[in-house]
């Protein structure tokens, strides 16, 4: 298996999952300007990471990759057994991917939505405010739990990754004690540390 990534971007979630799985894999950093080059666009016409290549399979979209890895390596127990628990896991994975991640698109990708500087600033502020609201929701979900769904799953590395982004933009998370405790536990995890080191983030 080979993972293409930008350091610190959403593929960090995939790399943490790969570390938890414990199977051999290769990771290749892609420079931002490479994303729009023909060689990379042949892998992903959207020009984004992550991309996972596993034999003849070329898979894009972070949530799809995480589910694929969970299903391919069930012994890692990153997706639960029952249909109800799987649905709940997919719900929170969709929440992080479609809601939380999207709010950061307005912060980091504001230039892609508006050319006017004032409009860009307004978009970034709106994205940050929305992210804060969403973090409060998942903080409530984490109350009394070590992991988002109660057991370790593919949701957790993704939430950890976007929480890193919140710290990077100095988003106030002081009202989210459960989230902050989760973040500290993840930081201490051996698989997380290995992924951070591999991406040059520590």
* 109 phi/psi in degrees, rounded to 5: -115, 25
Residue matched to tokens 């307004």: 122
Give the rounded percent of residues in the chain with a pLDDT score beyond 70. 100
Mean predicted confidence (pLDDT) in 12-35: 97
Q: Where are the domains of the chain?
A: 2-76+193-198, 83-189
* pLDDT tens for each residue of 108-124: 888 778 788 888 888 88
Q: Note the pLDDT of residue 8.
A: 93
Q: Note the pLDDT of residue 94.
A: 98
Closest C-alpha among 78, 110, 50, 101 to residue 191 = 78
Give CA–CA dist 128/104, Å, rounded: 7
Q: Is the pLDDT of residue 175 over 90?
A: yes
Q: How confident is the model at residue 77 (pLDDT cuts 50, 70, 90)?
A: very high
CATH architecture of 2-76+193-198: 3-Layer(aba) Sandwich (3.40)
CATH architecture of 83-189: Up-down Bundle (1.20)
Q: Considering the entire predicted model, what is its pTM?
A: 0.95
Own/partner long-range contacts of 166-172 (Cβ < 8 Å, ≥24 apart): 166/131, 166/135, 168/8, 169/107, 169/128, 171/128, 171/131, 171/132, 171/135, 172/132
* pLDDT tens for each residue of 41-62: 999 999 999 999 999 999 999 9
Q: Note the pLDDT of residue 98.
A: 95
Which 3 state secondary structure label does DSSP give 2? strand
Q: Note the pLDDT of residue 107.
A: 87
Mean predicted confidence (pLDDT) in 84-104: 97
Q: Note the pLDDT of residue 119.
A: 87
Whether residue 163 contacts residue 142, with contact meaning beta carbons closer than 8 Å, is answered with no
């Amino acid at each position: 298996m080979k993972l293409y990534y930008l350091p610190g971007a959403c593929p960090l979630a995939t790399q943490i999952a790969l570390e938890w799985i414990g199977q051999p894999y290769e990771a290749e950093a892609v420079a931002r300007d490479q994303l729009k080059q023909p060689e990379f666009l042949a892998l992903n016409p959207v020009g984004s990471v992550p991309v996972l290549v596993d034999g003849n399979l070329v898979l894009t979209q972070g949530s799809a990759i995480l589910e694929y890895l969970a299903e391919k390596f069930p012994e890692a127990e990153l997706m639960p057994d029952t249909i109800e628990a799987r649905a709940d896991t997919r719900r929170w994975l969709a929440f992080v991917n479609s809601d939380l991640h999207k709010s950061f698109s307005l912060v980091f990708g504001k230039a892609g939505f508006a050319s006017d500087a004032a409009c860009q600033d307004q978009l970034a502020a709106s994205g940050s405010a929305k992210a804060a609201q969403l973090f409060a929701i998942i903080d409530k979900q984490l109350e009394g739990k070590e992991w988002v769904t109660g057991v370790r799953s593919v949701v957790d590395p993704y939430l950890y990754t976007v929480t890193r982004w919140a710290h990077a933009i100095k988003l106030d998370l002081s009202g989210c004690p459960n989230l902050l405790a989760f973040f500290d536990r993840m930081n201490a995890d051996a698989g997380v540390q290995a992924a951070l080191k591999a991406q040059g983030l520590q």
